[in-house]
A and B are shown apart, each in its own frame.
Chain A
Amino acid sequence: MAKTLEEKQYLVRFNCDTKSHLEVRDHDVCATKCPDKDCTIFCPADVYKWEGDRMFVGFEGCHECGSCRIGCPFDNIKWEYPKGGHGIVFRLA
Chain B
Amino acid sequence: MSEKFDVIVVGAGPAGTSCAYTAAKNGLKVLLIERGEFPGAKNVMGGILYRKQMEDIIPEFWKEAPLERPVVEQRFWFLDKESMVTTSYKGLEWGKEPFNNFTVLRAKFDKWFADKAVEQGALLINETVVTECIVEDGKVVGVRTDRPDGDVYADVVVLADGVNSLLAKKLGFHKEWKPNEVALTVMEVMKMPKGSINERFNVEENQGVSVEIFGDATKGALGTAFLYTNKDSINIGVGTTLSGMIKKKMKPHQLLEDLKTHPMIKPYIEGAESLEYLAHLIPEGGYDSIPKLVGDGVMVIGDAAQLVNAIHREGSNMAMASGKMAAETILKAKDLGEFSERNLDSYRTDLYDSFIGKDLKKYRDAAHTFEEHPQYFEQYVPLMNRAMNTMFTVDGTPKWDKQKKIMNSFTAGRGKLGVAKDLYRAWKAVK
Binding site for B on A (CB under 8 A): 1-3, 5, 7-9, 11-12, 15, 38, 41-42, 44-46, 63-67, 69-71, 75, 81-85, 87-93
Residue of B nearest to A88 (CB): B42
Given A11, A42, A87, A93, which contacts B274 in the complex, CB threshold below 8 Å?
A: A11
Query: Is there an interface contact between B47 and A71, defined as CB atoms closer than 8 Å?
Result: no
Query: B187 at the A/B interface (Cβ < 8 Å)?
Result: yes
Query: Is there an interface contact between B190 and A1, defined as CB atoms closer than 8 Å?
Result: yes
Query: Is there an interface contact between B279 and A93, defined as CB atoms closer than 8 Å?
Result: no
Residue of B nearest to A62 (CB): B279
Q: Which 3 A-B pairs have the closest CB atoms?
A: A85-B127, A44-B279, A8-B277
- Shortest A35–chain B CB gap in Å is 13
Query: Is there an interface contact between B253 and A67, defined as CB atoms closer than 8 Å?
Result: no
Query: Is there an interface contact between B126 and A85, defined as CB atoms closer than 8 Å?
Result: yes
Query: Is there an interface contact between A1 and B164, defined as CB atoms closer than 8 Å?
Result: no
- Shortest A91–chain B CB gap in Å is 5
Query: Is there an interface contact between A45 and B279, defined as CB atoms closer than 8 Å?
Result: yes
Query: Is there an interface contact between B280 and A65, defined as CB atoms closer than 8 Å?
Result: yes
Query: Is there an interface contact between B253 and A84, defined as CB atoms closer than 8 Å?
Result: no
Q: How far is the CA of A64 from the CA of B127 in the complex (A)?
A: 15
- Shortest A93–chain B CB gap in Å is 5
Query: Is there an interface contact between B257 and A3, defined as CB atoms closer than 8 Å?
Result: yes
- Shortest B146–chain A CB gap in Å is 5
Q: How far is the CA of A41 from the CA of B412 in the complex (A)?
A: 35
Q: How far is the CA of A88 from the CA of B107 in the complex (A)?
A: 12
Q: How far is the CA of A91 from the CA of B108 in the complex (A)?
A: 8
Chain B positions 80-131 with a Cβ under 8 Å from a chain A Cβ: 105-108, 126-129
- Shortest A19–chain B CB gap in Å is 12
Q: How far is the CA of A84 from the CA of B40 in the complex (A)?
A: 14
Chain B positions 267-294 with a Cβ under 8 Å from a chain A Cβ: 269, 272-281
Q: Which residues of A contact B128 (CB under 8 A)?
A: 84-85
Query: Is there an interface contact between A44 and B176, defined as CB atoms closer than 8 Å?
Result: no
Given A70, A83, A87, A92, which contacts B176 in the complex, CB threshold below 8 Å?
A: A70
14 further interface pairs, Cβ-Cβ under 8 Å (given A65-B184, A91-B276):
A38-B246, A41-B250, A42-B250, A42-B251, A42-B252, A44-B184, A71-B242, A81-B166, A85-B37, A85-B126, A90-B43, A92-B105, A92-B276, A93-B278
Query: Is there an interface contact between B260 and A1, defined as CB atoms closer than 8 Å?
Result: yes
Q: How far is the CA of A89 from the CA of B278 in the complex (A)?
A: 10
Dominant secondary structure of chain A at its interface with chain B: loop
Given A15, A45, A67, A93, which contacts B44 in the complex, CB threshold below 8 Å?
A: A93
Query: B145 at the A/B interface (Cβ < 8 Å)?
Result: yes
Interface residues on B, range: 35 or more
Residue of A nearest to B252 (CB): A44
- Shortest A43–chain B CB gap in Å is 8
Q: Give the tally of cross-chain contacts (CB within 8 A).
A: 136
Query: B154 at the A/B interface (Cβ < 8 Å)?
Result: no
Q: Which residues of B contact A87 (CB under 8 A)?
A: 42
Query: Is there an interface contact between B129 and A42, defined as CB atoms closer than 8 Å?
Result: no
Q: Which residues of A contact B177 (CB under 8 A)?
A: 70
Q: How far is the CA of A25 from the CA of B389 in the complex (A)?
A: 53
Given A11, A44, A66, which contacts B276 in the complex, CB threshold below 8 Å?
A: A11
Residue of B nearest to A66 (CB): B164
Query: B357 at the A/B interface (Cβ < 8 Å)?
Result: no
Residue of B nearest to A87 (CB): B42
Query: Is there an interface contact between B281 and A65, defined as CB atoms closer than 8 Å?
Result: yes
Residue of A nearest to B276 (CB): A92
Q: Which residues of A contact B330 (CB under 8 A)?
A: none
Q: Which residues of A contact B147 (CB under 8 A)?
A: 84
- Shortest A15–chain B CB gap in Å is 7
Q: How far is the CA of A82 from the CA of B164 in the complex (A)?
A: 14
Query: Is there an interface contact between A15 and B37, defined as CB atoms closer than 8 Å?
Result: yes
Assess A2 versus B274: contact at CB under 8 Å? Given A8-B188, A81-B129, A83-B146. Answer: yes
- Shortest B67–chain A CB gap in Å is 13
Query: Is there an interface contact between A93 and B106, defined as CB atoms closer than 8 Å?
Result: yes
Q: How far is the CA of A88 from the CA of B190 in the complex (A)?
A: 19
Query: Is there an interface contact between B44 and A90, defined as CB atoms closer than 8 Å?
Result: yes
